[in-house]
Amino acid sequence: MLPESVKVPKIALVDKVSLPARRTAVVVVDMQNDFAHPNGRLFAPAARDIIPRIAALLERARRSGVRVVYTQDTHYRDDPVEFPIWGEHVVKGSWGWQIVDELKPGEGDVVVEKMRYDAFFGTPLDHVLRMYGVQHLVVTGTVANICVLHTVASARLRLYDVVVPIDAIAALNEFDYAAALRQMDFLYRVTLTKTEGVEFI
């Protein structure tokens, strides 16, 4: 039996995080039209709100020489795993699969196509990050308790230092958002802050 009300445990939030630019990557998770555009198949309204903050963070990151990595959720027709759960979405090559115009990858950015929630599963992401000497990840994007959380978890299990600006991730509802933060803080010991608190040195 589920409790009628759940008290969210206190989440540790730090004011400022200083990261070495040459050993850091900003990861933008699944900011694609199907998730972050009002006409998308699985539109999450909160994903629109975080676009300006991610854009500002990316501008600072690129200016400091920080590597930028995008994950692009990618499915093929009749995906037997996710389509029964979510319906058809982000089919490779479709408009919904494209990253939103406001956050289009720039020259030199890395785009990793992934077929499951975890951006490390079945992709070259870990190899790419280690090839460039990346040890610190700043993870942004959507959806907080699904692809963001699974990617953050996988990164921590691979011993990356992970920072999540809590105002640059979005979920489908407040409960899912709070649950994701709780797992990141309590289980994976992620550093939680806000975008304005992330500094590249």
For 193, the 3-state DSSP assignment is strand
Catalytic pick from 34, 147, 176, 185? 147
Inter-residue contact 92 to 75 (CB < 8 Å): yes
Instruction: Identify whether 147 is a catalytic site residue.
Output: yes
| The pair of three-digit structure tokens given for residue 18, joined into one six-digit string | 């200083």
Catalytic pick from 34, 114, 161, 176? 114
Task: Please provide the distance, in angstroms rounded to a whole number, between the alpha carbons at the two ends of the chain.
Answer: 49
**Residue 148 vs residues 64, 106, 164, 193: alpha-carbon distances, Å:** 24, 21, 9, 15
Dihedral sign computed on CA atoms, order 17, 22, 26, 27? negative
* Residues recognised as catalytic: 30, 114, 147
